[in-house]
Amino acid sequence: MTAFELIRALAYDAAIGIVVTDTVVDQPGPTILYANAAFGQLVGRDLSDIVGQTPRFMQGKETRRETLDAFHRALASGERFHGYLTNYRADGSKYRAEIDCRPLRATDGRIENFVSFEREVVRRIGRPAVSAAGRYEPVATSNDPLTGAWRELAIFKHA
């Protein structure tokens, strides 16, 4: 079983959005190979409109170029990207996305795919936080049966 197959099996009924791409970092890549139902709901599109696209389709006026440059650098160097981006849904509405994107490596170390875990977050009300980690909170708390698995993988955990 490849890492992609394992992720796909876990992603199927997960409550967080999960999307897998190929490894082509530069335009016109990366290409989305798989997205779970929660990802379709998050971005407000049918899965058939998502697979085959580049994740750039979610970007718009308020998507920060500096953050995208950091994302690009992380992908190009095979590192994890964990950050917050303004994404847009098909109906034009925007949302703040927490994105935890990692390379999926074969046993020989070669990167075979990228996988991204994504959820909507909102600004936390109350005392201002200095770090992005404290500034946002997820809009939904889920009782995903896979919560333990995500914890093992340190999904959305700040390094």
* Interface ranges with ligand FMN (CB under 6 A): 19, 21, 27, 30, 54-56, 58-59, 63, 68, 71-72, 75, 85, 87, 97, 99, 101, 114-116, 118
> Given the complex with ligand FMN, which of 60 and 145 has the nearer CB atom?
60
Helix spans in the chain (H): 3-11, 37-43, 65-76, 132-135, 147-152
Contact 45, 32 (CB under 8 A): no
- Smallest gap, in angstroms, from Cβ of residue 27 to ligand FMN? 6
> Given the complex with ligand FMN, which of 47 and 145 has the nearer CB atom?
47
143: buried, middle or exposed (CB in 10 Å: 19+, 13-18, 0-12)? exposed
| Structural tokens at position 29 | 């890549």
- Smallest gap, in angstroms, from Cβ of residue 22 to ligand FMN? 9
- Smallest gap, in angstroms, from Cβ of residue 92 to ligand FMN? 15
> Given the complex with ligand FMN, which of 63 and 147 has the nearer CB atom?
63
> Given the complex with ligand FMN, which of 50 and 146 has the nearer CB atom?
50
- Smallest gap, in angstroms, from Cβ of residue 111 to ligand FMN? 10
- Smallest gap, in angstroms, from Cβ of residue 30 to ligand FMN? 4
Beta strand spans in the chain (E): 17-21, 32-35, 81-88, 94-105, 111-123, 136-138
- How many whole angstroms separate alpha carbon 87 and alpha carbon 146? 25
> Given the complex with ligand FMN, which of 68 and 133 has the nearer CB atom?
68
| Structural tokens at position 53 | 């696209």
**Contact partners, residue 153, CB within 8 Å, separation at least 6:** none
